Copies of this chain bind each other. A is one copy, B any other.
Amino acid sequence: MANTNTSKSDKSSVLQPSLPAELYLDPVVYQNELRKIWYRQWIYAGRTDQLPSPGDYMLHTIGNQSIIVTRNEKGRIGAFHNTCRHRGSALCQAQQGQFKQGQIICPYHRWSYSLTGDLLNTPFLDLADANRNFSLYPVQCQSWKGNIYLNLDTSRSVELGETADPGFTVLNNWPLEQLKLGHSHQFELACNWKIFWENYLECYHCPGIHPELCKLVPLYKAALSTDRLDPDTELADAVGSGIESWTTTGKAISSPFPGLSEAECSAGHTFMELYPNQYIVAHSDYIRQVSITPLATDRTRITAEWLFSEEAMAGADFDPTPAIAFSKQVLAEDAMVNEINQQGITALPHRQGYLTPQEGDLAGFHLMYMKWMDIPV
């Protein structure tokens, strides 16, 4: 959160209260979060190259909403609720597939729709004079650099990228659009989705939890996630000397992406968050993006994806294992502490935790959350 700052004097004395514990535990709050956040913000659904041809589709779930994402004859990707306008049957069951001959056919009574969601045909019935629209329920769908994003809020109150921190432009020099999905890894955590973000947003836990990561980034060994959080630190927000990328060896798995600046290369990592659902970590040789799906107050699904350049992947000796294994290890280390964090906050006398100066970025996340939820600060 670029707009959060702390002065040196704060550091030694005052801790700020964190969010009230009930916001992580109450099923009513969770339902409100779906309604006020997850059904209003942009949600990552996959890569455009997962749908190479017109009629290709995949399903994506947000909360309890099942969405069809499909590419139409003009090559444009769009999205609809997975619900027939007749009596409401789900249209698709398979997680991915192909609509033949440009028709989405309901399996129940065989009403059919075009790839843009218009009602095409109603067997045994002439709806020509019906003055009502029976198109599929639309879902907002946009793509950015090959990433597909959905938004269930058709009032278009939030623009894609509005919640990006520090903004889409920070990744301008990365060829994300051309990268290919090399590996993905999905798992569930027994914690609230906000606990996952909080853990991501601070490195106060890094010295104790991520020994290997700390070897790559001296700033993290000093318990800081960004040099902004301590005005006195002389440590840069960058990998240490001799380190090329976030891998088990510290060496890059391929040559750097051509368009990067020298600073971007030597930093070793560039972060972008797209609240509430995704963060992207761009290295000089690969990009890792992680998306977050809430399942219940105390249940969250994490999907991590590793993207590489086509040229690198085509190389005879290409081995992404050092990159994949490294970040899987970090994710597993965080998983453990995320789950015990959820366990501990159920204590009756625990109103809320406290944020140290090193955790200043959490305060910004909390402010955004309170605003989304219409909770006065």
A interface with B by C-beta (< 8 Å) = 11-15, 18, 21, 39, 64-66, 81-91, 93, 107-110, 122-130, 132, 134, 137, 152, 154, 198, 204-205, 207-209, 222-223, 336-337, 340-341, 343-350, 352-359
Contact = CB atoms under 8 A, between A and B. Distances in A.
B347 A81 contact: yes
A126 B9 CA distance: 11
Chain copies in the assembly?
3
B81 A358 contact: no
A344 to B, nearest CB: 4
A109 B205 contact: yes
A108 B198 CA distance: 12
Nearest to A67: B347
Contacts of A88: 18, 21, 341, 344-345, 347, 350, 352-353
A64 B358 CA distance: 31
A65 B13 contact: no
Contact of A109 (B39, B64, B204): B204
A27 to B, nearest CB: 13
22 contacts: A11-B126, A12-B125, A12-B127, A13-B126, A18-B88, A64-B346, A82-B343, A83-B344, A83-B350, A87-B341, A88-B344, A88-B345, A88-B347, A88-B350, A108-B209, A109-B356, A123-B208, A124-B222, A124-B223, A125-B356, A137-B350, A154-B349
Nearest to A18: B87
A90 B222 CA distance: 24
B14 A130 contact: yes
Nearest to A138: B349
Given A12-B125, A108-B209, A207-B123, A82 B347 contact: yes
Contacts of A129: 12-13
Given A124-B204, A222-B124, A347 B198 contact: no
Contacts of A124: 204, 207, 222-223, 356, 358
A207 B125 CA distance: 14
A354 B85 contact: yes
A6 B125 CA distance: 14
Contacts of A134: 354
Given A125-B358, A205-B109, A348 B152 contact: yes
A82 B346 CA distance: 10
Contacts of A354: 85-87, 134
Contact of A89 (B90, B341, B348): B341
